[in-house]
Amino acid sequence: MSAATNSLPAAAHATPLIYVVDDEPVSADIVSELLQLEGYRTRVFHDSRVAAEALSNASTKPDMLLADYRMSGLNGLQLIARGKSEIRGLKTILLSGLVSDLTLGEQGCHPDLCVTKPFPIATLLQSVKRVLVAPASA
């Protein structure tokens, strides 16, 4: 993995861009639509490897990465670790019904927030708002 690039998320100048990554298309699309209704820009990925490439190569970097834990290819924690190494200040939320604190510690990756599935819509939207305004983690 490369060191963080000089590219910073664009939140200071525009509506936040959120990458939504879930290999279950219906789940990803619903989350994306909910975020768009709240005024966020989104980009949906159904393949974690494609999302990882986009994190590395996109001319406009996302402000947040919202990733499901259980996916083929890279799991959500691996994708978050890669995103944080590529984009300084990237905010991250992990969605899962499976992740415990022990698992997070074992992976050596710490998302800004974990949201347990299933979740009420209001919980997801409040979580996104809270993480976006919080100071960036290391």
Segment 31-35 mean pLDDT: 98
pLDDT (tens digit per residue) in 92-117: 999 987 766 546 655 667 899 999 88
Q: Where are the domains of the chain?
A: 17-133
Superfamily of 17-133 according to CATH = Response regulator (3.40.50.2300)
Are the beta carbons of 117 and 96 closer than 8 angstroms? yes
Segment 42-65 mean pLDDT: 96
Cis ω on the peptide bond leading into residue 118 (within 30° of 0)? yes
- Position 97 scores a pLDDT of 78
Q: E strands, the chain, where?
A: 17-21, 41-45, 64-68, 91-96, 113-116
